[in-house]
Amino acid sequence: QDVVNKIAAGEIIVAPVHALKELIENAVDAGSTSLEILVKDGGLKLLQITDNGHGINRDDLPILCERFTTSKLKAFEDLTSIGTYGFRGEALASISHIAHLTVTTKTQDSSCAWKAHYAGSKLTPAKPGQSADPKPCAGRQGTQITVEDLFYNVPTRRRAFRSASEEYAKILDLVGRYAVHCSGVAFSCKKQGDSSSGLSVTSNASTIDRIRILHNSAVANELVEFTAANERWGFKSEGYISNANYSVKRTVLLLFINHRSVESSAIKKAVEHTYASFLPKGGHPFIYLSLEIDPARVDVNVHPTKREVNFLNEEEIIEVICEEIKASLAKIDT
Ligand code: ADP
Ligand code: MG
């Protein structure tokens, strides 16, 4: 109960980018190979994500936004998995409390798509006086989630946003991270009515191509494949790291733990330290690192808006990774 009370909607979603992160993860979890994102006013006016995943059954729509409604855990008591994926069944519920939420979705088996509007966890009519029931409509397989007027009922939060372009930059950064990590998935992100403003990659782009397109075309030619694993500490990792002949102005660390974008200042610090002796002129590395750790070992108390994670045997795991980076840098050092 404590958890229920503590996690209020506005606490989970503090900025548009937090809502979008949840929506991207849902779309990827649904097996989508295409994610199209549309943004207006830094996400405060509109956040729309259209995927081609498995869709949502018509019968599940009435409870979709109830708190703790999830299709992803057999037993909700399976707390260990919660650690990996953040709080369960909370994202859509939270969004429905602080924004106008519309879901249009079609499964393969359904002959039509269904459209539903939500407010405060419940279905709500599109217009006053109409029925709140989901309406049949035309549409392709997949799900479109439309979030409008985020924080419309939380004026203090809404006033806290200074610039839409700052929020949009955060959104592009996040989408760029997932677009590198999710190979096989096409991504696009645009400002509404301004098709030149965003980013896009096709589903068949390689990881290197994705980095070239989304991040830095020069660094893409200077990357080496990276792997490290250790059974005792229960992890494996892979990715790409820049070599010792190349550096960027500020460390770029695209870090995923169990396929969720996270931050770890411990990993960042250790990696910077490892590179320091290989980059004497004070440059910094570019690193994309995907780490898979036994979910039972990842801190279950990590809050969705705090991307900073902790995990067991952090020091030991970081050491294995850094030793591997060192070996790899030494090999290609010229
Ligand atoms: P969680 O992802 O933790 O289960 P959410 O509130 O994010 O909780 O989503 C609730 C449920 O809604 C999911 O478990 C899933 O069944 C369904 N869902 C949400 N977004 C999508 C989507 N894009 N495609 C298919 N199903 C979705
Ligand atoms: Mg989710």
Q: How far is the CA of 70 from the centre of ligand 1 (A)?
A: 6
Residues 162 and 232 in one domain: no
Residues 143 and 87 in one domain: yes
Does a structural domain hold residue 155? yes
Any bridge partners for residue 253, and if so which?
287
Does a structural domain hold residue 305? yes
Radius of gyration of the chain (CA): 21
Among residues 201, 225, 243, the one where a domain terminates is: 201
Q: How many domains does the chain fold into?
A: 2
Does a structural domain hold residue 277? yes
> Are 191 and 40 a contacting pair, CB within 8 Å?
yes
Q: Token match 């045997």: residue?
A: 313
d(CA 66, CA 64): 6
What is the CB-side half-sphere exposure of residue 158 using CA atoms within 13 A?
13
d(CA 318, CA 126): 51
Give Cα 184 distance to the centre of its chain.
16
Residues 16 and 163 in one domain: yes
Residue 223 per-residue DSSP state: E
Rounded to the nearest 5 degrees, what angle is found at the Cα of 247, between the Cα atoms of 242 and 252? 70
Among residues 201, 236, 259, the one where a domain terminates is: 201
Q: What is the mean pLDDT of the chain?
A: 88
Among residues 171, 201, 231, the one where a domain terminates is: 201
pTM: 0.92
pLDDT tens by residue, 4-35 = 433 456 667 889 999 999 999 999 999 999 99
Q: Token match 């096989």: residue?
A: 184
pLDDT tens by residue, 184-193 = 999 999 999 8
Residues 172 and 36 in one domain: yes
Residues 270 and 159 in one domain: no
pLDDT tens by residue, 306-331 = 667 778 889 999 999 999 999 999 88
Dihedrals phi, psi of 26, to nearest 5 degrees? -60, -45
d(CA 198, CA 188): 7
* Residues framing ligand 1 (Cβ under 6 A): 22, 26-27, 30, 51, 53-56, 64, 69-72, 88-93, 143
d(CA 233, CA 246): 31
Residues 263 and 188 in one domain: no
Does a structural domain hold residue 43? yes
pLDDT tens by residue, 209-247 = 999 999 888 999 999 999 999 999 999 999 999 999 889
Which atom number of ligand 1 is nearest to the Cα of residue 64?
A: 12
Return the number of other C-beta atoms located less than 10 Å from residue 325's C-beta.
Answer: 22
What ipTM describes this predicted complex?
0.99
Does a structural domain hold residue 125? yes
Residues 150 and 273 in one domain: no
Q: Residue 53: which CATH number? A: 3.30.565.10
Q: Residue 326: which CATH number? A: 3.30.230.10
Residue nearest to atom 21 of ligand 1 (CA): 26
Residues 93 and 182 in one domain: yes
d(CA 135, CA 125): 10
Residue nearest to atom 18 of ligand 1 (CA): 26
d(CA 298, CA 317): 12
Residues 97 and 178 in one domain: yes
Q: Which of 92, 102, 143, 258 maximizes ligand 1 atoms within 8 Å of its Cβ, making it the mutation to test the pocket? A: 92
Residues 38 and 166 in one domain: yes
**Could you list the residue range(s) of the whole structural domain that residue 283 is in?**
217-332
Contacts of 215 (CB under 8 A, 6+ apart): 176, 180, 252, 286
pLDDT of residue 282: 83
Does a structural domain hold residue 212? no
**Structural element, H or E, at residue 183:** none
d(CA 140, CA 121): 25
Residues 34 and 180 in one domain: yes
Does a structural domain hold residue 224? yes
Residues 167 and 238 in one domain: no
